[in-house]
Amino acid sequence: MKRLTLTTSAIALSFMIAACTAPEKADEATLDTAESVAVGVAEADHSVEIAEARAFLERAEAELAAQSRIAAQAYWNQATNITPETNAAAAAAGAVSTKLAVSLANESKQFDVSVLPADLARKMTMLRTGITIPAPSTPGAAEELSQITTGLDATYGTGKFTYKGEALNLDQLSTIIETSRDPEELKAVWEGWRTISVPMKDDYARMVEIANEGANELGFESLDQMWLSGYDMAPEEMEAEVQRLWTQVEPLYEELHCFTRAKLNDEYGDDVQPRTGPIRADLLGNMWAQQWSSIYDVVKPDVPGPSYDLTERLQEKGYDAIKMVETGEAFFTSLGLDPLPETFWERSMIVRPEGREVVCHASAWDLDDEEDVRIKMCTEVNSEDFYTVHHELGHNFYQRAYKDQDYLYKTGAHDGFHEAIGDFVGLSITPEYLEQINLITEEEKPGADADTALLMQTALDKIAFLPFALTVDGWRWGVLSGETAPDAYNTSWWDLRLKNQGLVPPASRPADAFDPGAKYHIPGNTPYLRYFLSYILQFQFHKAACEQAGWEGPLHRCSIYDNKEVGERFNAMLEAGASQPWPDTLEEFTGTRQMDGSAIIEYFDPLMLYLKDQNATESCGW
Ligand code: X8Z
Ligand code: ZN
C-alpha cells in the first residue's frame, strides 16, 4: 500500500508492516537470574544506541510525514486531472519521496535491531521493507524511476480503444464486456483494451531493473522478497502461508469453474466455449475475468432466486452517486463510528468529471494523515459500485481510526487488512439489511430457498477472484525475481492464467502484447497479494463479528448493521493500525492468530454441495 493513496502505489513510500525479523525485546525473554544480570548489563551498554535510535526514528517519522503531505497533494492533482504539468509535478514529488525513503532506510542500517526495544526495532524494519518501488541511491535513479512510474500510470489512465468509430475509455469498454453476449464483439473489445499496454513493456522492464537495484541496496536479493517481507514473518514462510490458504479454497474454485464452463457451453456452443478444458477469458463478464457476477444471467442455477435486482432497485429508488456514498457511510456510523468529516464531501471525486482526464480506478486517500480523507471514484449507480463504495470507505474509516498512531504505524495491520475492512462490511449487505434501508420490501425478502442463488452471485465475485489475485502477484514475483525475462512477460502471464484460473485468451496473442499492463495494478505498481489475503480475511472477520453478535443462522444471512458491540471491537482493531504484529490484532478481533480459509468455506458450504451435485456428470478441471 502506498503511504499516500491506497491503490496507486507507483512512486511513493509504502510503509507497510514490519517484517519477519523484529526480535523480541530482551527483557521479555524468560531468563534465569544470572542471564538476567548479564542482559541488564548488556542493556545498559546499549542505552546510547537506543537513545540514538529513538532520536533517529523521531526525525525520520517527522520528515516522512512532511514529505508525504506534499507528495499526496501532487498525486491527487495528477490522478484527478492528468496533464503534462500534473504528471511532471507528481513525478518530481515521487522522486523526492523515494530519495527520502531510501536515504532513511540506508541510515537505519547503522542500528543493530537486535539490541533495540521491540517498538523501535519494528519501526526500523518498517523503514527498510516499506518502499514499494525503491530506487538505488545512484544519482538520477530516483528521478528516472519516478518518470517511468508516473508515465505508466498516465498511459493506463488515459487508455482508449476505437471501436465502431468511437474512442472508448475503460468504463465504456468494460460495460460492453459486462453486458454483451456476442462473442465476436467480446473478443474485439477484449483485444482492443489490450492494445493500450503494448507501449508500456520496455518502460516496465527498465523499472524492474532500477527497482531491483534499489532492493539490493537495501539488503534484499530482489524486490519480490522485499514485498513479501511486510507480513511479520520471513518471506518464504509467507509464501507457504499463501499456498496453504489457496489449498483450502481451490476445490471450491474448481467446482465453480466447472459449473460456469458448462453454462457458457450451453449459451455459446462448442465452437466458442467447449465443455471441457479452459474457459475463454472474454466470456466472463469482466475485462480481466477477475469477478464474474456480471454473467449471472448466463450462469444462473436452476433454482428459485431473489425477485429483485440490486442495480435496478438502486436506480428505481432514485439513488445517485452521492446517495450511494451516504448509504455506505451510514453503515459505518451504525456501528458507532464517527461520520466522515465535511471535507470528505467537499474534496472527494465521486463521479467522473467532464472535460479532463482522470484515473478512474477507485481509490481511497489520506492527504494529511489526520482528517483529510477522500475517495476518488467514477461511481455509477449499480450494484458493483455500491459494493465498491463500501470498499473504499473501509479504507477511509481505517485511516481516520489510526490517525493518532505514530507515523509509521498509520497503516493497516497488514495490507490485506486494509483491503478487507470495507468488504467485510459489504458482506453484511444481506436481504435483511436491504429491507432495513428500504431498498426492498418485506414481501420481496427472499426465503431460504433462494440461498443457492444468492450464494452463487457472491461466489462469482469472491471465489472467482482468488486465483486471479494469485496470478497477478505470481506473475510479478517471477518478473521481480528475474526468473521471468522481458521476452517471456506475456507467455508467463498466460501460463499462470491457465494454471491458476483455467483461462485462455479468445485467440493467440500477438508477439508484442503486454497483457499484464492492461490491469491497473501493474502499471500502478500496487502489490496484489493484499487482495488475496483480504478475500480470505473478510470472511474470517465476518464470522467472528457474527459470533460476537450472537448470530446462529447461516453466515451468508448475517448482517452486523447497527450492532454497536461489534462496532466497538471493530473500531479497536482499526485504531491499532500497524502498532503491533498483525497476529495480535487478528487475535483480538477473531480469537485466532492465523489467517484461515475455513470461514469462506463455511460461508459457501451450501453452494459447494449444490455444485458438486450439478457437476457430477461433467469432466471438471482443465
Ligand atoms: O483495486 C481495488 C479497489 C481499490 S483498492 C477498487 N480492488 C481490486 C481490483 O479492482 O482489482 C478491489 C478488489 C480487487
Ligand atoms: Zn482497496
- Which residues pair with residue 279 across a beta bridge? 503
Ligand 1 lined by 421 (C-beta under 6 Å): no
Distance (Å, whole) CA 397 – CA 394: 5
CA dihedral 398, 400, 401, 404 (to 10 degrees): 130
Query: Residue 30's CB: how many other CB atoms inside 10 A?
Result: 6
| Catalytic residue status for 34 | no
pLDDT 10s digits, 371-387: 999 999 999 999 999 99
Distance (Å, whole) CA 276 – CA 169: 34
Contact 11, 149 (CB under 8 A): yes
Distance (Å, whole) CA 380 – CA 320: 8
Distance (Å, whole) CA 15 – CA 106: 15
| Backbone conformation region of residue 525, classed left if phi is above 0, alpha if psi is from -120 to 50, else beta | left
| Catalytic residue status for 267 | no
Q: What is the pLDDT of residue 19?
A: 26
CA distances from 235 to 239, 527, 584 (A): 6, 15, 19
Distance of CA 214 to the CA centre of its chain: 24
Whose atoms come closest to the Cα of 526: which ligand?
1
Distance (Å, whole) CA 139 – CA 188: 45
Mean pLDDT for the stretch of residues 471-478: 98
Contact 186, 177 (CB under 8 A): yes
Is the model's pLDDT at 344 over the cut of 70?
yes
Q: Sort 535 into a burial class: Cβ within 10 Å, 0-12 / 13-18 / 19+.
A: buried
pLDDT 10s digits, 591-618: 999 999 999 999 999 999 999 999 999 9
Q: What is the pLDDT of residue 497?
A: 98
> Which atom belonging to ligand 1 lies closest to the Cα atom of 520?
11
Amino acid at 550: G
H-assigned helices in 183-234: 183-193, 201-217, 223-227
| Backbone conformation region of residue 134, classed left if phi is above 0, alpha if psi is from -120 to 50, else beta | beta
Contact 279, 260 (CB under 8 A): yes
With a CB cutoff of 8 Å and minimum separation 6, the contacts of 554 are 451, 606
Nearest residue by C-alpha to atom 7 in ligand 1: 531
Distance (Å, whole) CA 427 – CA 450: 17
Give the residue from 581, 590, 582, 588 showing the smallest Cα distance to 544: 590
Mean pLDDT for the stretch of residues 171-186: 98
Contact 337, 401 (CB under 8 A): yes
Query: Residue 384's CB: how many other CB atoms inside 10 A?
Result: 17
Q: What is the pLDDT of residue 45?
A: 85
Strands 503-504 and 279-280, by their bridges, are parallel
Residues with CB under 5 A from ligand 2 (ion): 419
Give the residue from 452, 461, 463 showing the smallest Cα distance to 302: 452
Distance (Å, whole) CA 210 – CA 214: 6
Q: What is the pLDDT of residue 265?
A: 98
| Catalytic residue status for 390 | no
For a pLDDT cut of 90, what percent of the chain falls above it?
A: 93
With a CB cutoff of 8 Å and minimum separation 6, the contacts of 420 are 394, 533, 534, 535, 537, 538, 541
Q: Which of 217, 329, 357, 419 is catalytic?
A: 419
Q: For residue 38, name the pLDDT band (cuts at 50, 70, 90).
A: very low
Nearest residue by C-alpha to atom 1 in ligand 1: 7
Q: For residue 3, name the pLDDT band (cuts at 50, 70, 90).
A: very low
CA distances from 106 to 49, 125, 248, 359 (A): 17, 11, 40, 33
CA distances from 229 to 144, 284, 289, 465, 585 (A): 25, 34, 29, 24, 18
Q: Which of 531, 535, 561, 610 is catalytic?
A: 531
| Catalytic residue status for 257 | no
Mean pLDDT for the stretch of residues 259-284: 98
Q: What is the pLDDT of residue 34?
A: 37
> Which atom belonging to ligand 1 lies closest to the Cα atom of 288?
11
CA distances from 577 to 12, 38, 563 (A): 20, 35, 22
Distance (Å, whole) CA 161 – CA 159: 7
Mean pLDDT for the stretch of residues 248-267: 98
> Which atom belonging to ligand 1 lies closest to the Cα atom of 419?
5
The phi, psi pair for 258, rounded to 5°, reads -65, -45
| Catalytic residue status for 521 | yes
Q: What is the pLDDT of residue 44?
A: 63
- Which residues pair with residue 131 across a beta bridge? 13
Contact 423, 391 (CB under 8 A): yes
Whose atoms come closest to the Cα of 7: which ligand?
1
Nearest residue by C-alpha to atom 6 in ligand 1: 362
Ligand 1 lined by 531 (C-beta under 6 Å): yes
